[in-house]
Amino acid sequence: MVEDKGCCSRCGKEFASTTGLDICPDCQKQLDQTFDSATLNLWEESVGLGMTSEDSIRSAGWVSQSDSLPVPRSRSLSHDTAKDSGAVDFEVRKKIGSGGMGVVYTAHQTSINRAVALKMVKPEHATSASASEALMSEAVITGCLDHPNVVPVYDLGVDGKGRLFYAMKEVEGFPWSVLIEEKTLDENLDILMRVADTIAFAHSKGILHRDLKPQNIMLGAFGEIMVMDWGAACSLGGANVVGLLPSDTAYCGTPAYMAPEMARADKNRLGETSDVYLLGAILYQIITGHPPRREKDPLICLALAARNQIDPAGEDNEPLRIALKAMAKAPADRYQSVEAFQQAVHEYRTHSQSLALLKSARTHVKQAIDKADYEAFNQAIYSLRQSLELWRENTEASALLESAVLDYARCALIRGDYKLARSVLEKSRKEHLVLLDEIEAAIRERDARKNRLRRLLISARILLVMIAILSATGFLMIRAQQKEILAEHRQSLINLISAHYGEQNYEATVNTFWEYHDQHGTNGFSEEILLDVRVAVAMNPHVGSVETGVSNPLGTAISHEPGCIWVVGKNQLAK
């Protein structure tokens, strides 16, 4: 057996082929596990060379509608602008776009002198009856939808070579896919809601679009929004619209956006919710910046679509949840009508103030946690409560409010503000009970510490009082001793003077001494000074003069003894 090494045409991985196929075993297994052989063959026949998952695919199983389609009239076209314009119906000018089987040109309708757009079958499909019938069906359906967001069809005809075309209003602008990333969320939602209006109108007429995507929405220079490419449309709920395909024919769509039942060619599940899925896929792209599936290979992407495998979207938010519900795998789990999808988006948009408050609260919560800021916590909690007042079902605000309250209480607990921590929690909330128990335990521990400290303070005060009492007692005892010593000195002086001067004189002499003692602060007499007084008295108690030796005497006092005086110095006394 000869092995040929090559790269898988699906995933690009190098592999050794023993079958001559250009698809690796892993990709083949993925396709075989997803599709039955008939469905896989249908899609393999429908995928053209060089197509990607964002290109529109129409299955080869097209059922002829020739009996019900109108007969186009012959029209003259000219690609030569130099030719006399009066001789042709349409002057074809430049190419402005192309799709799976069709190509679009700008043109000039000579009969009424206006610019139009002409859509024709691509030259390579010019001989294909199914391609021509698809284009005619598209023209008929588009012409039946009289709606501001559906481009008006002016004419349907064939040129001199038998090539089918139809003329429509020329919309000057760009596909939404070119501008979607430049526009704000609100601008894109405005466009999406107008597209949804158009699809709801089509559903009311029994028409299912089946190929909604930003590439098929044209944005005009003056606010026009046109839903294009109705060639994939089919009948809805048994509706009988001339030129419209039944729902079990011509399976088609774009793999990157396609609903699972479309990828599986499950006609029993095809319905309004299939277009709802496509609207949700566009909303998903508005939010994430890419289609639900970014796999480029159309067949592999079809397998992903059949399993409803959607690329991860990152951060969860309300519009994303709306998109994911619209893109639920089971049609019964989606919004059951375009109007229900629009209502969900409308409710989200009317809650913009609530969401703005939520955004502000997130900033305050982060600041509060980073800086342990009570004021920021209060602002965040207030904003979140206001947000919930505006929108009770704002689950993000509800969840953030719960965590902010717990963070606030935890912050207060750490800082020792137990009353504050307890005040922001509710005993009726099961989520708060654990933290409330921690707070109560911390309060008990704090109270125990306070009691211990109080007892220590009382003991210290008692000790201070005892020290004060002992100090006062000691002071009084010292004062008593001093008074006792002073009294003894007084008595000694009385005894000294009375011994030398007689009973009748000593009392007056002592009083005079004490007057000077109190006046001049001479209570520092030493035993030596008293001895000097004794010696001076003993030398001559009655007559003569005595050299006392008192320097710088403070003054003198008359003694009661005739011819005697007291000489008083700072620390000396002599008679």
Three-state secondary structure call for residue 382: helix
Q: Which two tokens stand for residue 105?
A: 């040109």
* 71 dihedral zone (left: phi>0; alpha: psi -120 to 50; beta): beta
3-state secondary structure 486-513: HHHHHHHHHHHHHHHHCHHHHHHHHHHH
Tell the burial category of 317 from Cβ atoms under 10 Å away from its Cβ (0-12, 13-18, 19+).
middle
- Count other C-beta atoms under 10 Å from residue 83's C-beta: 11
b/e 535-555 (16+ beta carbons within 10 angstroms → b): ebbeeebeeeeeebebeeebe
Inter-CA distances, 269 with 41, 298, 370, Å: 21, 22, 53
- Contacts of 365-371 with CB under 8 Å at 24 or more apart are 365/400, 365/403, 365/404, 365/407, 368/404, 368/407, 368/408, 368/411, 369/407, 369/411
Residue 211: active-site member: yes
- DSSP code at position 574: E
Bridge partners (DSSP) listed for residue 117: 106, 168
Query: Which is the catalytic residue, given 197, 211, 229, 275?
Result: 211
Q: State how far the Cα of 478 lies from the Cα of 271, in Å rounded to an integer.
A: 114
Residues taking part in catalysis: 211
